Amino acid sequence: MIGKILGNRYEIVEKIGGGGMALVYKAKCRLLNRFVAIKILRPEFTNDEEFINKFKRESQSAASLSHHNIVNIYDVGSEDDVYYIVMEYVKGKTLKKLIREKGKISPKRVINIAIEIAEALNHAHENHIVHRDIKPHNIMVTDDGRIKVTDFGIARAASTSTVTNTSNVIGSVHYFSPEQARGGYTDAKSDIYSLGIVMYEMLTGRVPFEGESPISIALKHIQEDIIPPGEIDKNIPKSIDNIVRKAVKKDQSLRYNSSDEILKDLRKAKQFVNEDIVEFKDYNNSPTRVIPAIKDDMIDKKDKKDKKNKNKKNNSKKLITIFAIVAALIFTGVIAGGYLIVKDYLIVEEVKVPNLVGKSLENATKDIKKVGLKLEIENRKHSNNIKKGHIIEQSEPSGANLKVDSTVRVVVSEGPDLVKIPKLVGNMSNEAEILLSEAGLKKGEITYEASDDYPIDVVIKQNPPPQEMLEKGSEIDYVISSGPEKKYIPMPDLVGLTEQDAKRRLISKGFLVGEIKYEANNDIPEGLVSWQSYPVGTEVEKNTTINLEISTGSSSSESDENETEDKPNDPSVELTIKLPDDDKEIKVDVYKEQNDKKELIYSKKHKSSEESIKVPISGKGKVKYIVYFNGEKKDEVEYNFKEDN
């Protein structure tokens, strides 16, 4: 998808996340010149009408919401089997990541975060939309500390919601409500329960229920009470401890009635943090009643009444005994001589067993009851082919004859086998492959990225993050370090500087000082740099070693006998250089290159009005001259000087 343009407007830049139904990308809006987030339905679901309908329902639900604590929806579209939603791009991190970084969040900040989440939920609930998947992963914390609730992917209008299909319990197992775990009716109170679990995790640094499988965790939501946050950490104020306890009541009627109600308590807690501000509902205590005093005549009347009842009871026992004897005689008579009369009533009708495999448990139960049979769940097991809550096997084959009221046993799918994602970050790439293989997962998209913090070939990012549960055989994307980022710096002009100034300039630019030679030079005064190992303006990698030559002044016959001997034999010519016609000042540098040695022989500024200049050159044999204008290579000329024998 990277580089693809959707709707002739949104250019996909990079992948930034993903969930069970969709992948999320960062994109550039060409029309408004801003970054947006685009949620794209996973390719494997584009031919699944049920998932497409869910995806469309998400866009319709979320697009109707407009609140500063809810991620905005900008656009919806589809093209070439790509279904997408364009959303506000939130720069920040998830609340889950913040909890991992902090371990625990201070009660004061928990109240502030919970207030913003509750305000978002209150707005959604007022618009008859239930989120049904409130968890830290779906809550963004912006760089400036604001809270934004995202991913209404499994929300739907409360006005049209019915009992959740038991074959498709929605939500994330650590955070969903007991009614979601049972596959029961979900409403705004289900979101309040999940908010309570999120607050619990922020306060304690952990979720209240853990287990070996999603089923075991779900059962704990149904059967077990949480350990109050205040018992785990004595520093948690009573007000916020009570808010959490009320929000996560198993019985929906004992929770907060609405998100507005919990919002009011959160605001009270912010002002009176150490006070008992929460009012709990209790339907177990009967009201006190006033009854009259018991007198002696009342006792006498009671004794007479008890005696009368006792006589009635004895008479009833006698009647029952007589009835039982008569019934036994009649039954014996039927068995002895009346078989032919009642045989039609003793022969049970047979019916055909319907095909249940692949059907939801709810529909299978209806089909079984329709023909007069009973259904019993014999086992539950994972399946990659049969959806969760649907039938994998049946004890009696389809079309077989069974007597009415017989039982058909079935095996129900638990959905795909979920495994915990291992931590790959910090491991070598080959170690990451082993960890994935051991967990039953596969390599996904592997990319490389420069890093100053991680050595080459070490994993620096992964998606999804570790510890989350994922379907066995799923792919994990990760990024591998390609080492520190290479930085290139333009080579400064050092010719004409003193040795110390040249060294200081090299170091300040990020280069290393290399070999320094001292050579005679007729054009550069003594003590100044006459040559540098890289031409001016060349892009050179940071920390590269730069060699220099320092002029020892002009050569003379007294100081250099060999040079004197060579000079009469070096023919001298002039190099004509045409200047550009642009009315600007030009710096002209001419380098002489011979025998892998490069030296600057001319460096001077000229005006374009001069049209051309002549530079004296001399040498022996083949010599190359390179001309630079303002640090950029302009020309290259090779001369072949004749040598005297």
Cβ atoms of 226 and 248 within 8 Å: the answer is: yes
Q: State the pLDDT at residue 315.
A: 59
Reduced to 3 states, what is the DSSP secondary structure of residue 584? coil
Q: State the pLDDT at residue 298.
A: 43
Indicate the pLDDT class of residue 353, thresholds 50, 70 and 90: very high
More confident residue, 57 or 620: 620
Q: What average pLDDT score do residues 152-176 get?
A: 50
Q: What is the spatial distance between Cα 619 and Cα 573, in angstroms, rounded to a whole number? A: 9
Q: State the pLDDT at residue 405.
A: 87
Please determine, for residue 228, whether its predicted confidence score (pLDDT) is greater than 90: yes
Q: Which residues contact 368 (CB under 8 A, 6 or more apart)?
A: 354, 356, 374, 375, 408
Q: What average pLDDT score do residues 109-114 get?
A: 95
442-449 and 475-481 beta bridge pairing:
parallel
Q: What average pLDDT score do residues 318-346 get?
A: 45
The CATH classification of domain 350-413, taken from the options 3.40.50.300, 3.30.10.20, 3.30.565.10, 3.30.70.1450: 3.30.10.20
Please determine, for residue 296, whether its predicted confidence score (pLDDT) is greater than 80: no
Regarding the domain delimited by 418-481, which CATH topology (the fold level of the hierarchy) does it fall under?
Answer: Trypsin Inhibitor V; Chain A (3.30.10)
Q: Where do the structural domains in the chain lie, given as residue ranges?
A: 5-88, 94-271, 350-413, 418-481, 488-641
Q: Which of 489, 521, 519 is nearest to 506 (CA)?
A: 489
Cβ atoms of 631 and 537 within 8 Å: the answer is: yes
Q: State the pLDDT at residue 303.
A: 52
| Partners of 380 in the β-ladder | 412
- DSSP 8-state assignment for residue 254: G
DSSP for 354-390? PP-TTSBHHHHHHHHHHTT-EEEEEEEE--SSSPTTB
Q: 534-554 burial, b for 16+ CB within 10 Å, e for fewer? A: bbbbeebeeebebebbbbbee
More confident residue, 558 or 48: 48
Please determine, for residue 242, whether its predicted confidence score (pLDDT) is greater than 90: yes
Indicate the pLDDT class of residue 644, thresholds 50, 70 and 90: low
Q: State the pLDDT at residue 146.
A: 92
Q: What average pLDDT score do residues 62-66 get?
A: 79
Regarding the domain delimited by 488-641, which CATH topology (the fold level of the hierarchy) does it fall under?
Answer: Trypsin Inhibitor V; Chain A (3.30.10)
Q: Which of 447, 444, 420 is nearest to 433 (CA)?
A: 444
Residue 383's alpha-carbon distances to 12, 21, 164, 211, 609, in angstroms, are 35, 18, 21, 20, 84
Q: State the pLDDT at residue 573.
A: 79
Catalytic annotation, pick one of 48, 75, 81, 133: 133
More confident residue, 616 or 169: 616
Q: What sign has the CA pseudo-torsion 532, 534, 535, 537?
A: negative
Q: What average pLDDT score do residues 154-163 get?
A: 38
Average pLDDT in the chain = 81
Indicate the pLDDT class of residue 591, thresholds 50, 70 and 90: confident
Reduced to 3 states, what is the DSSP secondary structure of residue 292? coil
Amino acid at site 392: I
pLDDT in tens, 361-396: 999 999 999 999 999 998 888 887 888 999 999 988
293-302, 566-575, 615-624: range with lowest mean pLDDT: 293-302
Cβ atoms of 141 and 94 within 8 Å: the answer is: yes
Cα dihedral 324→330→335→337 (10° resolution): 160
Active site residue 133: yes
Q: State the pLDDT at residue 271.
A: 86
Please determine, for residue 306, whether its predicted confidence score (pLDDT) is greater than 70: no
pLDDT in tens, 451-507: 888 888 899 999 999 988 888 888 999 999 988 877 888 999 999 999 999 999 999
81-85, 182-186, 392-396, 567-571: range with lowest mean pLDDT: 567-571
Q: State the pLDDT at residue 158.
A: 36
Please determine, for residue 226, whether its predicted confidence score (pLDDT) is greater than 80: yes
Indicate the pLDDT class of residue 205, thresholds 50, 70 and 90: very high
pLDDT in tens, 501-534: 999 999 999 899 989 999 898 888 889 999 998 8
Q: What is the spatial distance between Cα 47 and Cα 29, in angstroms, rounded to a whole number? A: 28
Cβ atoms of 591 and 601 within 8 Å: the answer is: yes
Q: State the pLDDT at residue 583.
A: 65
Cβ atoms of 311 and 333 within 8 Å: the answer is: no
Q: What is the spatial distance between Cα 84 and Cα 231, in angstroms, rounded to a whole number? A: 46
Please determine, for residue 166, whether its predicted confidence score (pLDDT) is greater than 50: no
Whether 5-88 and 94-271 share one fold: the answer is no
Q: State the pLDDT at residue 40.
A: 87
Please determine, for residue 332, whether its predicted confidence score (pLDDT) is greater than 60: no
645: exposed, middle or buried (C-beta count within 10 Å: 0-12, 13-18, 19+)? exposed
Structure tokens at 186: 């979900």
Highest CATH level, class, for 94-271: mainly alpha
Q: State the pLDDT at residue 2.
A: 86
Q: What average pLDDT score do residues 347-359 get?
A: 85
Indicate the pLDDT class of residue 139, thresholds 50, 70 and 90: very high
Per-range mean pLDDT, top range of 27-36, 190-199, 293-302, 589-598: 190-199
Indicate the pLDDT class of residue 606, thresholds 50, 70 and 90: confident
Q: State the pLDDT at residue 594.
A: 84
Look up the CATH architecture of domain 5-88: 2-Layer Sandwich (3.30)
Cβ atoms of 469 and 419 within 8 Å: the answer is: yes
Structure tokens at 592: 């002489």
Please determine, for residue 607, whether its predicted confidence score (pLDDT) is greater than 90: no
Q: State the pLDDT at residue 563.
A: 44
Cβ atoms of 117 and 96 within 8 Å: the answer is: no
Q: State the pLDDT at residue 311.
A: 59
